[in-house]
A = this chain, B = another copy of it.
Amino acid sequence: MSDDRREIHDLVLRYCRGIDRIDLDLVRSCYHPGAVDHHTGFDGPVEEYVEWLRPLLTSKSGGTHHMIGNHLSEVNGDHAVAETYAHATHWGGPEDSPKGNFTTGVRYVDHLERRDGRWGIVERWAVREWVRRDGDSLSAAKGTLARRDGTDPIDNLRAQVL
């Protein structure tokens, strides 16, 4: 894979990690300043998007799992287009009712630009396609090791090894 395509794929992976671990600096670092995000329920610059996200994520008693699959990017000079499929699972809260438990199928359509040698999103359409209400059938795994406060196993291992 070209280095450009690898960097763009890694960027989308870091976005997902940032959301799911509530590391919003990591989320923001995937965009260039002033980038625009079109999201269900939000439409505006990334700086405001991140602030809009924060209470949504922290109010969830469970968590989110942004699983991505298909990632197809095309580079044209300092610009690129990428389409990334995702299944986003949400469980627990805000009100801890079954309404907080759902999965949605999304395609992230990204316009990226290379500035000063670094790729970043300049405009994103989070194209939500379907929603599945998972009600009482979805729940947190008992005794999970997952954390969203910087002490998840991935955080601990990265601190130890890298």
Q: Which residues of A contact B (CB under 8 A)?
A: 1, 6, 10, 13-14, 16-17, 38, 40, 62-63, 65-72, 74, 76, 79-81, 83, 85-87, 89, 91, 104-105, 107, 109, 111, 125, 127-135, 137-141, 143-146, 152-154, 157-158, 161-162
Contacts and interface: CB of A to CB of B under 8 A. Distances in A.
B137 A132 contact: yes
A147 B13 CA distance: 25
Nearest to A155: B109
A111 B145 CA distance: 16
Identical copies in the complex: 3
Contact of A105 (B14, B67, B128, B133): B67
Main secondary structure of the interface of A (DSSP, over half): strand
Contacts of A66: 70, 85
Given A139-B131, A141-B130, A153-B125, A65 B81 contact: no
Contact of A111 (B40, B80, B140, B157): B157
B145 A127 contact: yes
